[in-house]
Amino acid sequence: MDPNAGVEIVATTILKYLDGMAKNATNAADLREKAMYISATFRTHNSVARLMAQVSALNGGEELIHPSHRADGPAEAAEKPVRRYANFLQSVMADYHVTPTIADIEGHPIQLMGFLDPQIERILHEHLFEFHRVLLRAEKKANHDLARVTKQFGYHYIFRIGLMEYYLSKTIAENVNFIRPDGRGDAYRVRAQTCFYNVMEQRVRLNDAEKQIVIRAMGCQPADAHRFWTWLERNRVAYQAMKACLALLHNLK
């Protein structure tokens, strides 16, 4: 059988299951709404692995539909710190060259799936379903963090973009190893990449001398470490901008 045909059969079967759940009047309204939501989102992402992960989360009673984060009216929003210091924040955006999308400006719930590099999906291959399960949990944390910072300072798109970058890159770093295999085995590769990730998490940016110290301590090939760090830095520009904005807001508050 053509693999693509098999995937289509799985998707069709799941969508029929969701359709039946949504139309069943004996089901709770919340459950029916979640079933409709999963079917609707599949039409936008077309990922069977994501679809399966969402249904698994649904059957586990997990949270799936997150509220919009830009809930304040014009009068309320004007009193928030992000509006009072908007010009300062815009300067930070310009320094980091951060450009928002419509979803960022409108404050849509965070969905990490749309920013996942297709190459990462190809690398994960048979582990893709479990990765999407982890990604759904990361989305929940990201939305909770966004709600918390919005309550404190008001909504600003840099919070949404920064948190998306942080949680997506964190989830990828925890599930995709950039260190090439050698005789020391997979446990070493995981330990080395965890070390490289943690030092960047603590410092955000390392200079060349600091990187060399870490590389020597782990006994890793420099090219592997630099490949991982370059990828992480490239995928955390908005996160760095967000951290700069939060530091500014805390100082001005």
Give the distance, in angstroms, between the CA of residue 132 and the centroid of all CA atoms in the same chain. 11
* Residue 1 scores a pLDDT above 60: no
Which range (72-81, 145-154, 160-169, 239-248) has the least confidence? Answer: 72-81
- pLDDT tens, residue by residue, 194-210: 999 999 888 767 889 99
The whole-number pLDDT of residue 221 equals 93
* Residue 2 scores a pLDDT above 60: no
- pLDDT tens, residue by residue, 74-120: 656 668 899 899 989 989 988 999 989 988 988 999 999 877 888 88
Q: How far apart are the first and last CA of the chain?
A: 63
pLDDT-based confidence at residue 168 (cuts at 50, 70, 90): very high
Q: Give the separation between CA 163 and CA 166, rounded to whole angstroms.
A: 5
* Residue 61 scores a pLDDT above 80: yes
Q: Give the separation between CA 158 and CA 145, rounded to whole angstroms.
A: 13
Those residues whose C-beta lies under 8 Å from the C-beta of residue 188, and which sit 6 or more positions away, are: 182
Report the run of H or E that residue 80 belongs to, with start and end: none
- pLDDT tens, residue by residue, 212-238: 999 999 999 999 999 999 999 999 999
The single residue listed with the structure tokens 């370059």 is 230
For the chain, which residues make up each domain, given as ranges? 1-65, 68-252
Other beta carbons within 10 angstroms of residue 246's beta carbon come to 16
Strand intervals (E) in the chain: none
